């Protein structure tokens, strides 16, 4: 499980970021998709207090949806920052920072695992 989350955070996340960031277009469809991911995550875990034992598939899907929402929000933030820094160097820095930002949830997961032990 940890290896899958690591690959998601450090390989798939930045790859998805670069793929979505390359596509030009309006911002509102991405904001709508991010909202749908977050809503799907909450709906999957809405009865979490009733579920015993914990259904690992629903938890993993919920975490995946919230993480995908995070990646899409990072794309939106990068687009906004690129408008603030219109130089080519600014664009490169924003893309690099956005790709690194997609890995932030991994560090929260690692900290939670460390505290649980």
In tens digits, what is the pLDDT along the chain, a chain of 117 residues? 778 888 989 999 999 999 999 887 888 899 999 999 999 998 887 766 655 566 678 888 888 999 999 999 999 999 999 999 999 999 999 999 999 999 999 998 889 888 988
Amino acid 49: pLDDT? 60
Amino acid 113: pLDDT? 84
103 touches 15 (CB < 8 A): no
Amino acid 53: pLDDT? 63
CA distances from 52 to 8, 9, 45, 49, 108 (A): 27, 28, 12, 8, 25
Measured distance CA(74)–CA(95) in Å, rounded: 10
Amino acid 10: pLDDT? 95
Amino acid 89: pLDDT? 96
């Amino acid at each position: 499980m940890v290896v899958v989350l690591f690959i998601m955070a450090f390989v798939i996340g930045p790859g998805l970021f670069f793929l979505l960031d390359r596509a030009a277009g309006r911002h509102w469809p991405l904001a709508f998709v991010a909202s749908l991911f977050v809503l799907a995550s909450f709906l999957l875990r809405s009865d979490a207090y009733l579920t015993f034992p914990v259904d690992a598939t629903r938890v993993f899907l919920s975490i995946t949806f919230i993480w995908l929402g995070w990646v899409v929000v990072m794309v939106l933030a990068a687009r906004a920052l690129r408008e603030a820094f219109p130089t080519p160097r600014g664009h490169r820095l924003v893309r690099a920072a956005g790709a690194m930002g997609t890995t932030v949830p991994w560090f929260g997961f690692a900290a939670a695992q460390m505290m649980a032990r």
